Chains A and B, each alone.
Chain A
Amino acid sequence: MSQAAITLQDVSVTLGGQIILDRMNATVERGALTAVMGPNGAGKTTLLHAILGLIPYSGRILFGSSEKRPRLGFVPQRLDLDRGSPVTVRDFLSLALTQRPLWAGIGRQTDKDIRDVLEQVSVGAVLRSPLGKLSGGETQRVLLAQALLNQPQILLLDEPASSVDLAGEALFCDLLEQIQKQLDITTLLVSHDLAVITTHARYVICLKHGIVCSGPAGDTLTPENLKKLFGPHINLYTHSHSHPLPTD
């Protein structure tokens, strides 16, 4: 088994007097795509926020052998932006690359880096489009692009495909898997979509305020574990065109 990129040791999070995560222990393998799954309110996004250092927690989160955070790329679910906002994709992506205020202009090198990363996520045509007018699928690709611009060692995605249809979601996850393998980035993907997880994740962490189960996807996504996680009305059907689930 490869070395852990993230190790959670007895991590607990309490918000507003309510325990969201309770003494959680888990590892995220280096260079692989790990999915965090669980029902609504299970603490999936809270876990990402703890890893980002956005909220207080007890216990330890180690990155390799140190508590110092490496470069993290974060892909949120959505942006809080109204449709009339003139902020363009170019503006948004330049925020990751330069401290110079946007009103002072965008430099040539920054412009080139932005064009390159948009090509990488296959949405080169949206460079000057207003962010608020993009489709759900384009928005997710632009959000992925901004995370990649940071040259992250670890990529964290919070239900990135929640605002796109099934076909868009499949395309996005194919692209994500391809980039993850190309760049060998440790990727932690929050999702409650079993189809996405079974197709793309190598490891899973099943969460319901604490760990219910974790490990290689093929060993972990058993009917018993899924029932523990989601209740008795859940079943996993493997389509003939799906990849086989990875096991140890």
Chain B
Amino acid sequence: MEFLVNLLGALFPYDWLEPLFMRRALIGLLLIAPTCASMGVQVVNFRMAFFSDAISHSAFTGVALGLILGIHPQLSMILFGVLIGCGVLLLARKAEMSTDTIIGVFFAAVVALGIVIVSARSGLVRYFEGVLFGDILAISNSDLWVMLGLCTLVALFQWIGFNRLLLLSMNQPLAHSRGIKTTLWELGFGLLLALLVMISLRVVGLLLVTALLVVPAAAARNLARSAGALFWWAITLAGASSLGGLYLSFHWGSATGASVILVGVGFFVASFGYKLMGRRG
């Protein structure tokens, strides 16, 4: 990974890419943002933005539990998020209630539990800034390896599952009639999404991680004219947002994650304008 970081510096000798941490941040962003955007295509299809919000907000509690139980907070945060994802998905299948309601209950539970733990142990508060806002500038080479592993896993998942999940999002009985194991794919997607959300917290923090999933996919919808183009537009816009956001944050001295999201929202507004003009034309 060190080789890649050095290569980036040699190929693009710009002042803003001179610091080592900026080059690591760019590689991290270019790994995670397009990965999130590709999964965001299905998040939009399945209307699961609220699900990813609930998972990201469980990070608070996951970190707090890790600190209390003596487990590495990063690990406890990821495990707790995946556990909450499992809980939501399994209960949504069993309870005769809308998925939104189930997610709402889990959302309330994890946030309330986090607040109770943090308020009872005031010394824990200092750990939460990174969880809230993310800290992409502080990532290490080992973080980049984790991100690369996740990116590869999602790419493999999208190769095998893209068509299946698309059909599943349109009509479950039809997907089943084509031999797609609908339960397995729904659960698999939910769990991978939970894992991705927890690892992506490092980039933009829990308040904005859902935007990393949804904004590029929403902008891509305004531009794409087929399902394949939707996928590539989402990935391209996520990559461009990462590059633009990191560059602007360097010059403005602003938070990197939030800058990346703002550039993404800019792309959404522009793409929406383009779509409106297309309708008039």
Contact = CB atoms under 8 A, between A and B. Distances in A.
Contacts of B174: 74, 76, 79, 146
Interface residues of B, number: 26
B232 A103 contact: yes
Interface in B138-190: 158-159, 162-163, 166-167, 169-171, 173-174, 176-178
A130 B227 CA distance: 10
Interface string A85-101: 11110111001101111
A49 interface: yes
Interface in B211-251: 221, 224-232
Task: Determine which residue in A90, A95, A100, A105 has the highest number of CB atoms from chain B within 10 A of its CB, and name it.
Answer: A95
Interface in A137-188: 146, 150, 156, 158
Contact of A87 (B158, B159, B227, B232): B227
B178 A150 contact: yes
Contacts of A80: 169-171
A102 B226 contact: yes
Dominant secondary structure of chain A at its interface with chain B: loop
9 contacts: A49-B173, A79-B171, A81-B170, A86-B225, A95-B167, A101-B163, A101-B228, A102-B166, A102-B228
A105 B158 CA distance: 14
A41 to B, nearest CB: 17
B171 A91 contact: no
Interface of B: 45, 96, 158-159, 162-163, 166-167, 169-171, 173-174, 176-178, 221, 224-232
A57 B96 CA distance: 19
A52 interface: yes
A95 B162 CA distance: 10
A54 B227 CA distance: 27
Nearest to B176: A54
A128 B229 CA distance: 13
A91 B169 CA distance: 14
Task: Determine which residue in B177, B178, B224 has the highest number of CB atoms from chain A within 10 A of its CB, and name it.
Answer: B177
A225 B173 CA distance: 31
A173 to B, nearest CB: 20
Contact of B229 (A86, A92, A158): A86
Given A90-B226, A91-B227, A101-B159, A85 B177 contact: no
Nearest to A77: B171
Interface string A69-84: 0001110101111001
A16 interface: yes
Interface residues of A, number: 39
B226 A53 contact: no
B173 A87 contact: no
A104 interface: yes
Nearest to B229: A86
A86 B231 contact: no
B229 A54 contact: no
Given A74-B177, A96-B178, A101-B158, A91 B167 contact: no
B176 A84 contact: no
Contacts of B96: 16
Closest 9 CB pairs of A and B: A74-B177, A103-B231, A101-B162, A91-B227, A86-B224, A102-B228, A103-B228, A102-B227, A79-B170
A88 B227 contact: yes
Nearest to A80: B170
B63 to A, nearest CB: 35
B173 A52 contact: yes
Contacts of A96: 178
A103 B236 CA distance: 13
B228 A54 contact: no
